[in-house]
């Protein structure tokens, strides 16, 4: 579920055009704390670099940098949206000299490896996802405006892929609770499932080369970035292909 294309020295326009072959592209608004006058890129491009609008590395205390540290937590892109993402396409324009690997966890294999009792337990569970949950784990303090923007949405914990029919866990650090469960009990189960899903036998580690282009299916993968020297430029740009429908009917989240 991860495709790697080496030596793709492309422009933003070319990346957008390529991505449109697979569906509508998500607008990046609503997925970060970068203000409109701070954005470096087209709204269809997700800026997952460590750079400010001056194309220099962000200061250590910059809220944008602190927010983006959440990308070091396991997640699935846009699971915090009512209609979660289908594909992500990530271009390594300038890669870290050391570190900065991206790790991918196969949530199909992780589901298959569950015992029958656990499969029965999770089959019909629904989680609430929000950027407030993932960033809250790191102590990031959201403004009232951001809290309104990042209101929780509901997602099934077990998804069935519409093409292959294969089941997978749908986990992310964005998942903060399970509908109908006490929060501590829900988070304990989600942590247990995540620890199971990211065991080495389920994980591919991508060590970036300049101009690598990677594409993956968010419906069956989690990923995270690893630490790197943030005094160096790491310019990574993602297009995100929108999903087709919610995983579950949306109601007012708790």
**Average pLDDT of every residue of the chain:** 97
Task: Flag whether pLDDT at 254 surpasses 50.
Answer: no
Q: C-alpha angle 103/226/101, rounded to 5°?
A: 55
DSSP conformation letters of 127-165: EEE-HHHHHHHTT----HHHHHHT--EEEESEEE-TTT-
pLDDT at residue 137 greater than cutoff 80:
yes
Mean pLDDT of 169-196: 98
Distance CA 250, CA 234 (A): 37
Region 245-251 average pLDDT: 88
The pLDDT > 90 percentage for the chain reads 95
What is the SS3 assignment for 56?
coil
Rounding to the nearest 10 degrees, give the CA dihedral for residues 121, 126, 132, 135.
Answer: 40
How does pLDDT run across 52-92, given as a tens digit for each residue? 999 999 999 999 999 999 999 999 999 999 999 999 999 99
pLDDT in tens, 18-63: 999 999 999 999 999 998 889 999 999 999 999 999 999 999 999 9
Residue 253 reports pLDDT greater than 60: no
* DSSP per-residue letters across 84-111: --SEEEEEEEE--SSB--EEEEEHHHHH
Give the residue, 254 or 90, on which the prediction is more confident.
Answer: 90
251 versus 234: which is more confidently predicted? 234
End-to-end Cα spacing for the chain? 33
What is the band of 252 on the pLDDT scale with cuts at 50, 70, 90?
low
pLDDT higher than threshold 90 for residue 165: yes
pLDDT the model gives residue 249: 87
pLDDT at 1 over 90: no
Q: Once rounded to an integer, what is the mean pLDDT over residues 133-155?
A: 96
Domain layout of the chain by residue ranges? 2-241
CATH fold of 2-241 reads Double-stranded beta-helix (3.60.130)
């Amino acid at each position: 579920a991860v495709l790697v294309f080496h030596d793709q020295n492309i422009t933003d326009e070319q990346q957008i055009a390529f991505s449109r072959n697979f569906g509508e592209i998500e607008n990046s608004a609503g997925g970060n704390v970068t203000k409109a006058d701070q954005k470096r890129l087209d709204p269809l491009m997700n800026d997952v670099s460590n750079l400010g609008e001056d194309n220099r590395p962000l200061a250590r205390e910059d809220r944008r940098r602190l927010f983006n540290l959440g990308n070091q937590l396991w997640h699935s892109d846009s699971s915090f949206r009512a209609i979660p993402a289908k594909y992500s396409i990530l271009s390594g324009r300038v890669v870290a000299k050391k570190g900065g690997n991206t790790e991918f966890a196969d949530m199909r294999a992780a589901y298959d490896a569950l015992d029958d009792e656990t499969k029965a337990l999770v089959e019909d569970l629904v989680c609430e996802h929000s950027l407030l949950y993932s960033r809250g784990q790191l102590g990031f303090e959201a403004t009232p405006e951001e809290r309104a923007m990042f209101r929780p949405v509901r997602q099934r914990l077990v998804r069935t892929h519409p093409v292959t029919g294969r089941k997978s866990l749908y986990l992310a650090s964005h998942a903060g609770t399970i509908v109908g469960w006490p929060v501590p009990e829900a988070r304990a189960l989600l942590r247990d499932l995540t620890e199971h899903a990211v065991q080495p036998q389920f994980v591919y580690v991508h060590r970036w080369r300049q101009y690598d282009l990677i594409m993956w299916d968010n419906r069956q993968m989690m990923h995270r970035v690893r630490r790197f020297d943030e005094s160096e430029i790491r310019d990574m740009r993602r297009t995100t292909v929108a999903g087709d429908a919610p995983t579950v009917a949306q109601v007012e989240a708790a």
